[in-house]
Structure 1
Amino acid sequence: MFGFNMFQEITRPFNMTYRCFSVSMLPGNERQDVERGGKIIMPPSALEQLTRLNIVYPMIFKLTNKKSKRLTHCGVLEFVADEGKVYLPHWMMANLVLEEGALLQIESVSLPVATFSKFQPLSEDFLDITNPKAVLENCLRNFSCLTTGDVIAIKYNAKVYELCVLETMPGNAVVIIECDMNVEFAPPVGYKEEEHISRGEGSTEDGMDEDPAVMMPDPGFKAFSGEGNRLDGKKKKLISESDSEPQTSTSRQAYVRGIPDYDYVIGTLRFIRNSRPSSAKEEAQTDSFQAFKGEGFTLRTAKSQN
């Protein structure tokens, strides 16, 4: 006795040709989710045909531009396009060198699971990202597969970064859905490492450059020896070195900045001012002064006695 399904079903490939357009041409609201990923939008008839052909999931397709002989791989996001049309992200159309309304061949394929991939940023601005691997991992959630040689576009902080897929393993095209993939980054295009000055002539043991002109000042140099001008146009009065010395009284010692006052008494404050010496008349007035010796007055008027 023989039961049903005694022979294994043969998987037939999906192979169709459509008119391709960018996502911006898709009717309705703007679809940023399509632009940020690696999936396309196909017509409903494609879904009906795929279900009859017993396609292996996840659905992966090879896109081929026969004119330029350029190809790439992608997944499918939705089946809502108009019949005979497919909508692609802008970066994918640039890789395939496609114009609006050009013919595009779409075939169903089966790709190995990714284990390794290497990317090269096309701009040095990518180095400003604090954690590029985490950003890339988050953006690749909108991709189904990667193809060696493609230039993918990811968006982060309202800025688009382009990355070239330099290498993928174990094949030139791999599936990145639910996989453990190691990621490496190549230096960005145009990036040059900083040239470090080797220790040699003109450097000290500490690694700092030693310039004799800087380390040894001119013996005839005098700081702040320039001339000054007044705003009212009058000539500035020249001050001799003897006049520039501060005048101090005989009662206290001249204050020199940077030398501590060894006679300081804890709990006292001294306010040092550049004042002229007090005259003998002022000293006499100071000595004759007595606190709280003034006259007092009362606001109450005395009662008159009859």
Structure 2
Amino acid sequence: WRQASLRWPSFPSAGSACQTSTSRPPSGPPPHTALQLHMWGRRGVFADSFRCHSVSLLAAEQHRDGNELEYSDKIILPPSSLEKLAHLEVTYPMMFELANPRYVARRLHCGVLEFIAQEGMVYLPYWMMENMHLNEGDIVHLKSASIPKGRFVKLQPQTTDFIKISNPKAVLESSLRKFSALTKGETFRILYNKKKYDIGVVEVKPEGPAFAPNAPQAVCIIEADVEVDFEAPADYVEPPKQPSPVASPLSTSPLTKSPLAGPSMGAPILDGDSSDEEMSDAKPFEGSGFRLDGKPIKAPKSSPPPSTSMLGNGAVKVGVRIGGDGSVLGGGFPASGGQTLGGGQTLGGGQTLGGG
């Protein structure tokens, strides 16, 4: 291709029968008709218009793998474009600029894969058609372009799914081998593990001087050492910051409900000694208690007064004889007040129990 772009075809000599007085010298470029000049543009620049279609249509017609055509930036031109490019001094590698006449603000740069399209048609990856707002059969303007090699690019994944890949940089490096150029503002598409990822181009920097004013900000990445940086995904949302632990104010403390913490009690006096001698003349506590949880204190349950006698209030009979059937046979002297048991003490009518 380099030789074809630099060599002009040979022409008849000055003595030939077909030579006319108006012919150009053999060393000059070949004569071009007005139609050819209109289609080719100025010398060294290829420019033409085509009806665009997605590469998936060509893949379906030729039973090819559509992924190889879709996830790249290579276009497919008709054979006539190859003939025109062969007569022009187009820089290598061949780069082209695509523009939508109805949306001139967006321009993309790409390479060429094959020259097998039907005449008047060009096949584009569908993501390029989306970027330029093109539909099937729309007119697209195409011209050759010379862009510098890239030194730095900043990319932005459109979804957080891309950063969840174990090694996103290695995946991107492998995918970009199918690409020829990157244009600032475009969003290209790659395929990894049967899943599509859209990557936006945020910034590009060329080797050498910066871009000239009004020049397209696009770089060639073929055989270039490009530094790649990533920006946060477009749909990334930072998690809310956790508030730092702060001590609760005193107003929310349950101790504020305690009468001990009130201002009426004053500061505690701790100078005295709590010995038994000093506390002997202290007055008994006459206040009321309270619960820390604020609930009312339940009144203590009343218990019956204790009995003054171990034997109860019933009369005690002493010396009672009981028969075999359990009936009382006789005897028995009721104990009167002041009676005691044991130790030879007398009960009632002079009878003595135990010890004498």
TM-score (norm 2): 0.53
Alignment-derived partner of residue 98 in structure 2: 63
Structure 2 gaps, min length 5: 1-25, 30-41, 212-216, 249-356
Q: Using the TM superposition, give the Cα deviation of residue 196 of structure 1 relative to its aligned residue in structure 2, in angstroms.
A: 4.2
Which of 148, 152, 167 does residue 203 from structure 2 map onto? 167
State the alpha-carbon separation in 1 of the partners of residues 103 and 154 from structure 2. Answer: 25
- Residues 28-80 of structure 1: CA deviation (Å, up to 9, x unaligned): 11432110101100011111110111211000000010111121110001111
Q: CA deviation at 1:195?
A: 3.5
The residue matched to 2:161 in structure 1 has which SS? helix
- Would you say the 8 A contact 1:120–1:186 is kept in 2? yes
- Structure 1 residue 39 and structure 2 residue 74: aligned? yes
Compute the RMSD of aligned alpha carbons: 2.5
CA deviation map 1:180-219 (0-9, x unaligned): 111011111121233343543269xxxxxxxxxxxxxxxx
Q: Secondary structure at the match of 1:115?
A: strand
Whichever residue aligns with residue 81 of structure 2, its letter is: A
The residue identity in structure 2 corresponding to 1:90 is: Y
**Bigger relative contact order, structure 1 or 2 (CA pairs below 8 A, ≥6 apart):** 1
**Which residue in the other structure is 2:177 paired with?**
141
CA drift at 1:13: 0.2
1:23 to 52, 55, 67: 55
Distance, in Å, in 2 between the alignment partners of 1:15 and 1:100 is 21
Residue correspondence of structure 1 range 146-225 to structure 2 within 5 A:
146-170=182-206, 171=211, 172-197=217-242, 199-201=244-246
CA contact (8 A) 1:93 1:99 kept: yes
Count of residue pairs the alignment pairs up = 201
Q: Read off the aligned partner of 2:47 and give its amino acid letter.
A: N
Q: How does 1:1-306 map to 2 (within 5 A)?
A: 11-26=43-58, 27-30=61-64, 31-69=66-104, 70-170=106-206, 171=211, 172-197=217-242, 199-201=244-246
In structure 2, the partner of 1:212 is none
Deviation at 1:81, TM superposition (A): 0.6
Cα distance, 1:131 vs structure 2: 1.0
Which whole-Å deviations, capped at 9, do the CAs of 1:148-185 have from their partners, x for residues lacking one?
Answer: 00010000000000011111112410000001111011
CA distance in 1: counterparts of 2:125 and 2:247, whole angstroms:
56
Structure 1: which 5+ residue stretches go unaligned?
Answer: 204-306
Give the TM-score, by structure 1 length.
0.62
Is the contact between residue 15 and residue 106 of structure 1 (CA under 8 Å) also seen in structure 2?
Answer: yes
Shift of 1:5: 6.6
User: What's the CA shift for 1:92?
Assistant: 0.2
CA contact (8 A) 1:118 1:184 kept: yes
